[in-house]
Chains A and B, each alone.
Chain A
Amino acid sequence: MLAPDSVGRTFAGADSISITQSEIDAFAAVIGETDTSIAPPTFTIRISLDQFQNILTKPEIGLDWSRLVHGDQKFEIFSPIKAGDALSCSATIESYRVAAGNEIVSVRSDLHRGAELVVSSWSTLVVRA
């Protein structure tokens, strides 16, 4: 059960995250992308999901990550990600509800390069009953 007062809270990422060419290369290789000068459009999910897990499993928030499935996902990309980017990530718990025993959490991730918002993404995460 998610702590009720956590809805609407925004959590800043602790440190900036450096994007390396080898990370982009590995992600691109799985999907057969040969141009690795820019990260594939869904690449930033690795940053966002990692931060969602860090936040939502904090004892005071209390989500059970082990029973979690991904319900939906959306990206808005304002500026593509490249190797050498240093990104800061903030995450916001936008909504929470329980339906048929399943917990449904909507979270948003905002990635900034300096002051510039480069990618926003929205994830619906479902903790199965």
Chain B
Amino acid sequence: MITVGTSLPEKVLYLDRAMLKAYADASGDQNPIHQNEEFAISVGLPNVIAHGMLTMALVGKYVTDWSGGTGTVKEFGARFIKPVIVPAGEKVDLTINATITEVNGDEIKLDLVATSAGVKVLGMAKAVVIKND
């Protein structure tokens, strides 16, 4: 049912260093904080961190899986409030939830929640989609 207040099914997926490298190559963002532990620590980070835009891309995939296709997104925004920390040799979770907050004709607005290791990583994360049945 598409009604205000409805929660979408939770999805848990996993990030590792290989995914960060693949995203760096696909996006052109080769900032070493996403690949090089020594560099990341030298600039005050706890370890290598995922690109905020990788997290957002993965949340976007969650949204379009529900809404029925890559072309269904009208608006999509988020704040990067905490990093997703990706130590070498580990897989870290990205846990995604959503709630329907508005229904205007065929436009549906979602509030999105993304956490990693129990920490909320995105703030004010929202999307507006046209749902395909």
Residues on A lying within 8 angstroms of B by beta carbon are 23, 26-33, 35, 37-42, 45-46, 49-50, 67, 69-77, 80, 122, 128
CB contacts between A and B, total, < 8 Å: 95
Chain A binding surface, main DSSP class: mixed
Query: Closest approach, in angstroms, between the C-beta of B20 and any C-beta of chain A?
Result: 9
Residues 58-79 of B contacting A (Cβ, < 8 Å): 58, 60-61, 63-64, 69-71, 73-79
User: Which of B25, B44, B78 is the one whose CB lies under 8 Å from A73?
Assistant: B78
Q: Is B107 an interface residue (CB 8 A)?
A: no
> Which of the candidate stretches B49-57, B85-93, B96-104, B108-116 sits at the interface with the other chain?
B49-57
User: Which of A23, A35, A49, A72 is the one whose CB lies under 8 Å from B78?
Assistant: A72
Chain B binding surface, main DSSP class: helix
A-B contact pairs, 14 of them (CB 8 A): A30-B22, A31-B57, A31-B61, A35-B69, A38-B70, A40-B70, A41-B73, A45-B27, A46-B28, A72-B77, A72-B78, A73-B53, A73-B56, A74-B77
